[in-house]
Amino acid sequence: MSKVVKLGSGEVDPTRPKRRRFDVNSKLRILAEVDTFTQPGQIAARAG
CA–CA gap between residue 48 and residue 43 (Å, rounded): 9
Model pLDDT for residues 1-48, shown as the tens digit of each residue = 556 555 556 666 678 788 889 999 999 999 999 999 999 989 888 876
What's the predicted TM-score (pTM) here? 0.52
| pLDDT at residue number 38 | 92
Question: What's the pLDDT at 7?
Answer: 58
At 36 the pLDDT is 94
CA nearest neighbour of 3 among 11, 13, 32: 13
